[in-house]
């Protein structure tokens, strides 16, 4: 986390929103808005993430406000949890720092017809089998190999490309945000270095806060929405959190390098060079957007292949096909992305670039981009917590369109840096502590588990309470972890 606390002005708008007025610093084009409750505000002002909210308000073309979700914490350029919409018709920019290094990091939820009683006796075997099958950790490669030609095709077509290879199904595509492909991806703009990093990493989990978790639905808040999603109490689910691996990291790095002097070229004055950006309609902006979209398509394919491996493990452990166990995808959402979307700003419909960095799309019922099966309830929102507490399923609400460009939170949000978390763990065995609480954890290292211990994160229940109260997304179901694998 960043050093020093935030000492700027914070004006309370309502019980779950605070404003940083644009008068705070000369050059801010709009206010900053932070969604949080009293408890979370006391935590988040301990670092400089609110200052980053103010910094983003300097971006050309920014609309309405620079925003942050309740899982806000310090990030590169934008805070994690940052949201900004820019209008290209007003010189609006695209900023790699507003998307993040892990392009289209996201999460998917798979339901099943298994109950807690069915899996309880098999949990250790199941988690061990997942850990031994699914590649985890820094730089790990997997069983799926793609040469450069295949990789470019995959980045251009997204999950539909995998369908052609028997690795995805129509229902998987229908239940993925944007149906698993961003149009306008240009794989030719992805560097050879990025291709080299991504060729054998598709279908691998990675490290850090990425995970594959076996969960049980422990409480249903909205029976109707849960029924539409196929969720019910005591049902066993699988949650997968990963992104675009080394390929996406390199695309971001390449983009930041290419944009180092671009703000100066276009007369853009920035308070932080980590906000390097380019007008979205400029050659530099279009180049980054084409490569970013290609990396996003790669990330969707990565999570699809991770899900296929999970299905195979379940089939082996339980002696039934995944189809027979009804291991169907509920939904897949991304939370490190920028998309050109239509929104109403000051009573006018506009096409704006919505940057969501550590923030999740939350479109309400009736929105044309919500899958047909969910038209009556709204887009499912999948919110992972920390590995020791809980995760959530919500649905998008009309308030998200009115207040946050169709956006809600993405997770719990860190309280400690990874270094602080390791220091606080000392010589404790986090895996043993988790097992005492009924959760089996497997990771490549004790250090990795220490970095991700529950106390390193905010309580996701507090975060979800805020977005529910604010009308951004609505509680549907809460899941508790049974077992987790990590890098």
* Residues in contact with 89: Cβ distance below 8 Å, sequence separation at least 6, in sequence order: 350, 351
pLDDT at 1: 57
If pLDDT is split at 50, 70 and 90, which confidence band does 3 have? low
- Say if residues 145 and 305 touch (Cβ distance below 8 Å): no
Annotated catalytic residue within 175, 210, 367, 410: 410
Instruction: State the pTM of this model.
Output: 0.97
What is the bridge-based pairing of β-strands 65-73 and 80-86? antiparallel
If pLDDT is split at 50, 70 and 90, which confidence band does 356 have? very high
- Say if residues 36 and 44 touch (Cβ distance below 8 Å): yes
Domains of the chain: 11-486 (3.90.1860.10)
pLDDT at 487: 80
pLDDT 10s digits, 441-483:
999 988 989 999 999 999 999 999 999 999 999 999 999 999 9
Structure tokens at 470: 């604010």
Query: Could you tell me the end-to-end alpha-carbon distance of the chain, in angstroms, rounded to an integer?
Result: 21
Closest CA to 191 of 148, 223, 140, 135: 148
CB atoms under 10 Å from CB of 269, counted, come to: 9
* Radius of gyration of the chain from its Cα atoms, rounded to whole angstroms: 21
* Residues in contact with 192: Cβ distance below 8 Å, sequence separation at least 6, in sequence order: none
Known catalytic residue at 410: yes
CB atoms under 10 Å from CB of 366, counted, come to: 10
Rounded to an integer, the average pLDDT of 344-368 is 98
With the C-alpha atoms ordered 365, 366, 369, 373, is the resulting torsion angle positive or negative? positive
């Amino acid at each position: 986390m960043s050093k020093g606390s935030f000492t700027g002005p914070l004006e309370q708008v309502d019980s779950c929103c605070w404003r940083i007025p644009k008068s705070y610093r000369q050059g801010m084009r709009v206010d900053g808005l932070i969604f949080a409750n009293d408890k979370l505000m006391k935590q988040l002002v301990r670092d400089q993430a609110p200052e980053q909210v103010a910094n983003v308000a300097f971006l050309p073309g920014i609309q309405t406000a620079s925003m942050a979700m309740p899982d806000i914490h310090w990030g590169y350029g934008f805070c994690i949890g940052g949201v900004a919409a820019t209008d290209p018709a007003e010189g609006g920019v695209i900023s790699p720092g507003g998307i993040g290094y892990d392009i289209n990091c996201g999460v998917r939820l798979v339901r099943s017809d298994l109950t807690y009683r069915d899996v309880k006796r098999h949990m250790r075997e199941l988690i061990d089998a997942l850990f031994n099958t699914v590649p985890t950790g820094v730089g790990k490669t997997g069983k799926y190999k793609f040469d450069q030609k295949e990789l470019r095709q995959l980045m251009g077509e997204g999950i539909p490309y995998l369908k052609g290879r028997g690795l995805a199904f129509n229902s998987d595509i229908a239940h993925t945000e944007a149906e698993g492909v961003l149009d306008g991806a240009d794989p030719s703009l992805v560097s050879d270095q990025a291709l080299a990093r991504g060729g054998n990493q598709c279908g691998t989990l990675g490290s850090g806060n990425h995970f594959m978790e076996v969960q049980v639905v422990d409480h249903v808040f909205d029976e109707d929405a849960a029924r539409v999603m196929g969720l019910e109490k005591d049902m066993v689910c699988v949650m997968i959190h990963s992104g675009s691996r080394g390929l996406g990291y390199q695309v971001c790095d390449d983009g930041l390098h290419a944009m180092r002097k671009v703000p100066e070229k276009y007369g853009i004055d920035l308070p932080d060079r980590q906000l390097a950006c380019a007008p979205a309609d400029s050659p530099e902006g279009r180049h980054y957007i084409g490569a970013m979209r290609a990396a996003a398509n790669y990330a969707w394919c990565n999570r699809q292949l991770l899900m296929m491996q999970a299905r195979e493990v379940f089939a082996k452990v339980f002696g039934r096909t995944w189809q027979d166990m009804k291991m169907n995808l509920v939904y897949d959402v991304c939370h490190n992305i920028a998309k050109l979307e239509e929104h109403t700003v000051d009573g006018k419909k506009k096409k704006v670039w919505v940057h969501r960095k550590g923030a999740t799309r939350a479109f309400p019922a009736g929105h044309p981009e919500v899958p047909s099966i969910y038209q009556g309830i709204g887009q499912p929102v999948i919110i992972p917590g920390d590995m020791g507490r809980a995760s959530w399923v919500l649905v998008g609400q009309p308030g998200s369109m009115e207040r946050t460009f169709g956006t809600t939170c993405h997770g719990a949000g860190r309280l400690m840096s990874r270094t602080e978390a390791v220091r606080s763990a000392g010589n404790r065995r986090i895996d043993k502590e988790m097992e005492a609480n009924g959760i089996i954890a497997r990771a490549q290292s004790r250090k990795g588990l220490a970095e991700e211990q529950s106390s390193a994160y905010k309580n996701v229940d507090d975060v979800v309470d805020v977005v529910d109260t604010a009308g951004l997304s609505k509680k549907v179901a809460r899941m508790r972890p049974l077992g987790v694998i990590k890098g």
